[in-house]
Amino acid sequence: MRINDTWLAWLGYAREEVVGKLRHPDIMTEESAAYFRATAFPMFKRQGWLQDIEFEYRRKDGSSFHASLNATTIRDQDSNYLVSRSTVNDISERKRVEQAILELNARLEESVDRLKEVNEELESFSYSVSHDLRAPLRAIDGFSRMLEEDYGERLDDEGRRLLGVVRDGARKMTQLIEDLLAFSKFSRKALNPVRVDMQALAGGVAAELKAAAPHARFEPGRLPDAYGDPALLRQVWVNLLSNAFKYAGRREAPLVEVGSHSEAGEHVYWVRDNGVGFDPRYVEKLFGVFQRLHGEAEFPGTGVGLAIVRRVVMRHGGRVWAEGALERGATFYFSLPDGGKGNG
């Protein structure tokens, strides 16, 4: 075996320790040497060359490094085997990077799994908490009602007022819990995706809402079919349209419009109203649970509707966003991937 200086430097041997004394597999780890003898060398003898075969070499000091081997046979004029020429490239760095990527990926997958688990735990926690809160709440409301019924006449005005505050508080908390449970339900419900006629869905919901707001005008734009869970998508329309009718309700001529456009593999649906709008500085808060940009006395609600919209749309692989200005109306958008197999 002959060897060049670079190669000697890599291995940490002096020339005289190698030449004529060591054979190629002698400077490999046991595993690589076994592979060399059993597979690579027979292959080399058969075909006369080797290309980019990875081995782990052992330095004189016992440490190791990865290298890729290329080898060719050199023969004399009569095709007799003379010698083999091998070149070796140190690929330790590439190996190290590959290993690091593998480890990072494994860690990432672990984090994703953990995150999923935590998320599920959190959802089931919020479900059971709001669930278990119902019984004591029913007691507060029920027993203060009994007090009112049985002892109301013996209370003076202030006594009755205080009792009214208790019952009012219980009612509000009831609403909060019901909404939280609804949010949790829409987060947990299994998706049963089918083709959904959004035009009919939005139109039906709007007709119901319009019945309660006869002076409002509804302008239906063209809405392409979607691919999703009909019950959940209906809830998206219910929440967006009831908001629109609610916030436009105080206008002289309330107007609610729906429409859509399609871009880059997704359908974007929107609901616009000419109502009180919102301060765009707080647009990020709109879709959070229990986040409200208007006082309870001004417009009733607990602030769960848009959180449900976002959760449902996200579960369908879409996005939600909003545009608006104070006193200048609001537009709420949601996108759904164009799963439209066929005429979408």
Beta strands 255-263 and 266-273: pairing type? Answer: antiparallel
By CB under 8 A, name the one of 34, 100, 108, 146 that touches another protein.
146
Shortest spacing between CB 145 and another protein, in angstroms: 5
Q: Determine, following the binding rule CB under 8 A, whether residue 139 of this chain makes contact with another protein.
A: yes
Contacting residues for 10 by C-beta, under 8 A, at least 6 apart: 57, 59, 65, 67, 90
Q: Is 125 in the site for another protein (CB under 8 A)?
A: no
Measured from the CB of residue 247, what is the shortest distance to another protein in angstroms?
Answer: 26
* Minimal distance, residue 118 CB to another protein, in Å: 22
Burial class (CB in 10 A: 0-12, 13-18, 19+), 222: exposed
- Selected from 11, 18, 71, 177, the binder of another protein by CB under 8 A is 177
- The 3-class SS string of 248-306 reads HCCCCCCEEEEEEEEECCEEEEEEEECCCCCCHHHHHHCCCCCCCCCCCCCCCCCCCHH
Question: 223: which 2 tokens?
Answer: 């809405």
Figure out which of the listed residues 12, 136, 300, 344 binds another protein, where binding follows CB under 8 A: 136
Q: Are 317 and 193 in contact (CB under 8 A)?
A: no
Helix (H) or strand (E) holding 337: strand 330-337
Is there binding between residue 137 and another protein (CB under 8 A)?
yes
Nearest distance from residue 178's CB to another protein, in Å?
7
Residue 138 sits in the site that holds another protein (CB under 8 A):
yes
Verify binding: residue 134, another protein, rule CB under 8 A: yes
Indicate which single residue of 141, 266, 323, 338 sits in contact with another protein (rule: CB under 8 A): 141
Closer residue to another protein, CB minimum distance, 28 or 308: 308
Residue 267: strand pairing partners: 262, 336
Q: Two tokens at 208?
A: 């119901």
Part of the chain binding another protein (CB under 8 A), chosen from 137-145, 156-164, 322-330, 333-341: 137-145
Residue 123 binds another protein, judged by CB under 8 A: no
CB 66 within 8 A of CB 92: yes
- Measured from the CB atom, the residue of 81 and 143 that comes closer to another protein is 143
Tell which one of 178, 197, 266, 323 touches another protein (CB under 8 A).
178
Establish if 304 lies at the interface with another protein (CB under 8 A): no
Nearest-angstrom CA–CA distance, 332 and 246 = 14
Residues making contact with another protein (CB under 8 A): 131, 134-139, 141-146, 171, 174, 177-178
